[in-house]
């Protein structure tokens, strides 16, 4: 029996044992040839030749200097620049951010403990609640005053002040939620 016949016989037996392993007959033949080649011992004559010396280029050892990136805590300067840039965005929040800026200076300098900063934010939160209450009262008062007969100019002025205070109320409520997160 030749090797080719052995491979075909082995492929047929593989297909009987595992019918769904391979999709094509050629895959069975490849698997069988691998199995047969392990079992068949063939003797080949070795041809002795002189090996040619191949010069390999000498590799120089290259040292790479890798700097480790350290995570740094934000410095006081970085925090203060963020606060100062935020001040320019909204005029109504300028005073509130200014007071928080002062609290940040005091906290970073170490003159007061961390609890003092929490107390400052708590006081600021209470002040905002009072301001919200006052602004809501004024909006209610001006809405009631629109019911009474007035001139067109007076009505327009009252409507403008109502819209401005509503916007101010909206900003106060946003600031209230931000301070609530800090507490």
What would the pLDDT profile of 102-148 be if each residue is shown by its tens digit? 666 665 555 444 456 677 888 888 898 999 999 899 888 888 888 88
* For helices 25-39 and 3-17, angle between their N-to-C axes, nearest 10 degrees: 120
Residue 40 Rama label (left phi>0; alpha psi -120 to 50; beta)? beta
Length of the chain: 183
Looking at residue 55, its pLDDT comes to 64
**Is pLDDT of 149 > 70?**
yes
Residues near 41 by beta carbon (within 8 Å), at least 6 away in sequence: none
pTM of the model: 0.36
**Is pLDDT of 3 > 50?**
yes
**Is pLDDT of 12 > 90?**
yes
Q: What is the DSSP letter of 20?
A: T
């Amino acid at each position: 029996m030749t090797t080719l016949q052995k491979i075909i016989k082995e492929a047929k037996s593989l297909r009987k044992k595992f019918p769904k392993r391979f999709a094509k007959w050629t895959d069975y033949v490849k698997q069988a040839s691998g199995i047969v080649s392990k079992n068949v011992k063939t003797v080949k004559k070795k041809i002795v030749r002189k090996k040619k010396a191949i010069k390999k280029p000498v590799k120089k050892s290259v040292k790479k200097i890798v700097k480790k990136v350290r995570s740094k805590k934000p410095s006081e300067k970085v925090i203060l620049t963020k606060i100062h840039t935020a001040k320019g965005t909204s005029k109504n929040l300028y005073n509130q951010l200014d007071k928080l800026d002062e609290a940040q200076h005091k906290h970073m300098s170490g003159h007061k403990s961390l609890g003092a900063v929490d107390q400052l934010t708590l006081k600021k939160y209470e002040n905002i609640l009072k301001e919200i209450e006052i602004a809501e009262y004024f909006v209610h008062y001006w809405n009631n005053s629109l019911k009474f007969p007035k001139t067109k100019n007076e009505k327009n002025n009252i409507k403008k002040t109502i819209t401005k205070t509503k916007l101010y109320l909206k900003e106060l409520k946003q600031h209230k939620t931000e301070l609530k997160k800090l507490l």
